[in-house]
Structure 1
């Protein structure tokens, strides 16, 4: 049996819902996180569902289905990390689903680490290790990890860190 994974795909602007429907029609499992938001019109308030992540949709596929996804109208491409389509962990998709089921009017804020901030590594060999930001260099972050009374210092891509 082939292994299925969640992947993030990048869509044309404002095509998230359309792409999700087109892929579902092609028997591909998708998840387009929608945020319930109250919007004011000149004459009334209305509740609308807007994509939480503009221009992104998640697909649950085998690698053999990647071409079928790419050929779907509105799909720009897969999101790549280090030259490969980025695999999104099941628990991350579940966490987004749970969060959106409990909260409305969710706002996204970019993660911008600061010096001396505590962070956790979320990818690679040091996954779930905690550290402290020492220095910032463009998209790279120098992190000190305490081990055996020594600081192990490593340079990480900002995308591999989460606020702790």
Structure 2
């Protein structure tokens, strides 16, 4: 009978482990999500593992040879509790797989700003200014109410360039 198991990977090598296990015809699943990171002075959206250093592998506990897994590049070993390797419930993996978007990522919920929340602008010509959250415009943009020349003005900013005060 086939079950899902968790594989523990070497630091920053879960993508390599996934690639090499896949090349050996193992069925693997590494859930990913989008994250905003500041790189070289710019905020960029990148795709990372949802569970860094872990991935799931679908194995038959009777008919399949597990020995090559330990020596696969990027793999540290299977997750164990003592000398037992516990299976991951199928419903956990199915739930993750059911929620993938078109690129294979688990959607990250937008920040839960409420109208009137104070936000600080982190980048651009208005960096350092505070504004009030007014609403969303599209998936990645927020509308802030800024006081400019003693007049409230609605302005759009990338969500990645603002943060709560």
Fold shared by both chains (TM-score > 0.5): yes
- 1:8 pairs with 6, 9, 15, which one? 6
Alignment map for 1:1-164 (pairs within 5 Å): 3-63=1-61, 64-99=64-99, 101=101, 103-104=107-108
CA distance in 1, matches of 2:36, 2:99: 17
Unaligned runs of at least 5 residues, structure 2: 111-165
Q: CA deviation at 1:100?
A: 5.1
**RMSD between aligned residues:** 2.1
Q: CA deviation at 1:27?
A: 0.6
Q: What TM-score does the superposition give when structure 2 sets the normalisation length?
A: 0.56
Which secondary structure state, in structure 2, belongs to the residue aligned with residue 6 of structure 1? strand
CA distance in 2, matches of 1:78, 1:58: 10
Instruction: Find the structure with the greater CA-based Rg.
Output: 2
Greater per-residue helix proportion: 1
Q: CA deviation at 1:47?
A: 1.5
Larger mean CA deviation between 96-105 and 33-42 belongs to 96-105
Q: CA deviation at 1:105?
A: 6.5
Q: CA deviation at 1:20?
A: 0.2
Q: Which residue of 2 aligns with 1:119?
A: none
Aligned residues: 104
Q: CA deviation at 1:61?
A: 1.3
- Alpha-carbon deviations, 1:58-102, whole Å to 9, x = none? 101123331121121221111113531120111101122334545
Unaligned runs of at least 5 residues, structure 1: 107-164
